[in-house]
Structure 1
Amino acid sequence: MTTQATTRFTNQLHTMKTQNQKGFIPFTLLGWPNADISFEIIKTMIDSGATGLELGIAFSDPLADGPVLQAAAVETLATGFDVDQAFILLQKVRAYNQDIPIGLMVYFNMILARGVDQFFKDAADAGVDGILIVDLPPEGAEEVTAAAKTSGIDLIFIVSPLTTDERLQTILKHANGYLYVVSRLGITGTDNTHDTQLQDLLTRIKAQTDLPLYVGFGVSTPEDAQKMIAAGADGVITGSRIIQLVQDQPNSSPQQVLETYLQSMCNLSE
Structure 2
Amino acid sequence: MPSMSKSDKQNRYQARFLELRKSNKGAFMPFTVLGWPDEETSLRIMKSMIDSGASALELGIAFSDPVADGPIIQAAAHKVIESGFTVVQALKLVGRVRKLDGQIPIGLLVYYNHIMAMGIDEFFKCASEGGADGILVADLPAESADELLEAAQKHDICLIFIVSPLTKPERLIKVVEHAQGFIYLVSRLGVTGVDERNDTKDSRLSNLIADIRKATDLPILAGFGISTPAHARKMLDLGVDGVITGSNVINVVSRANTENPADLDRELKKYLVDMVSSLSPVKA
Tell me if both proteins adopt one fold, taking TM over 0.5 as the criterion: yes
More moved, 68-77 vs 192-201: 192-201
For residues 17-72 of structure 1, give each alpha carbon's deviation from its aligned partner in whole angstroms, at most 9, with x where no partner exists: 35542110000000000000000000000000000000000000000000000111
SS at match of 2:215: coil
Match of 1:218 among 208, 222, 225: 225
Unaligned runs of 5+ in 2: 1-5
State the percentage of identical aligned residues: 49
More moved, 144-153 vs 24-33: 144-153
Measured after TM superposition, the shift of residue 5 of structure 1 is: 2.1
| Aligned partners of 2:152 and 2:158 also within 8 Å | yes
Structure 1 residues 126-165: aligned runs within 5 Å: 126-165=130-169
SS at match of 1:122: helix
SS at match of 1:81: coil
- Cα distance in 2, alignment partners of residues 37 and 185 from structure 1: 31
Measured after TM superposition, the shift of residue 252 of structure 1 is: 4.2
2:66 equivalent to 1:62: yes
Matched residue, 1:5: 7
Matched residue, 1:240: 247
| Aligned partners of 2:194 and 2:227 also within 8 Å | no
Letter of the structure 2 residue corresponding to residue 221 of structure 1: T
2:219 equivalent to 1:209: no
- Cα distance in 1, alignment partners of residues 101 and 168 from structure 2: 38
For residues 65-98 of structure 1, give each alpha carbon's deviation from its aligned partner in whole angstroms, at most 9, with x where no partner exists: 0000011111111110111110111111011111
Measured after TM superposition, the shift of residue 14 of structure 1 is: 3.8
| Aligned partners of 1:27 and 1:238 also within 8 Å | yes
Letter of the structure 2 residue corresponding to residue 259 of structure 1: K
Letter of the structure 1 residue corresponding to residue 185 of structure 2: V
For residues 80-121 of structure 1, give each alpha carbon's deviation from its aligned partner in whole angstroms, at most 9, with x where no partner exists: 011111011111101111110000000001001111111111
2:38 equivalent to 1:34: yes
| Aligned partners of 1:45 and 1:262 also within 8 Å | yes
| Aligned partners of 1:14 and 1:212 also within 8 Å | no
Normalization by structure 1: what TM-score? 0.96
- Cα distance in 1, alignment partners of residues 158 and 20 from structure 2: 18
Count of matched residue positions in the alignment of Structure 1 and Structure 2: 267
Higher helix share: 2
Match of 2:85 among 73, 76, 81: 81
Letter of the structure 1 residue corresponding to residue 254 of structure 2: Q
Measured after TM superposition, the shift of residue 16 of structure 1 is: 2.5
Normalization by structure 2: what TM-score? 0.91
Letter of the structure 2 residue corresponding to residue 198 of structure 1: L
Unaligned runs of 5+ in 1: none
SS at match of 2:107: strand
| Aligned partners of 2:194 and 2:226 also within 8 Å | no
Match of 1:256 among 234, 241, 266: 266
Matched residue, 2:3: none
- Cα distance in 2, alignment partners of residues 206 and 18 from structure 1: 19
SS at match of 1:155: strand
| Aligned partners of 1:10 and 1:176 also within 8 Å | no
What is the root-mean-square deviation of aligned Cα atoms in Å? Answer: 1.3
Structure 1 residues 16-27: aligned runs within 5 Å: 16-17=20-21, 20-27=24-31
Letter of the structure 1 residue corresponding to residue 213 of structure 2: K
| Aligned partners of 2:69 and 2:191 also within 8 Å | yes
| Aligned partners of 2:63 and 2:77 also within 8 Å | yes
- Cα distance in 2, alignment partners of residues 87 and 161 from structure 1: 31
Letter of the structure 2 residue corresponding to residue 239 of structure 1: G
More moved, 247-256 vs 205-214: 247-256
Measured after TM superposition, the shift of residue 190 of structure 1 is: 4.1
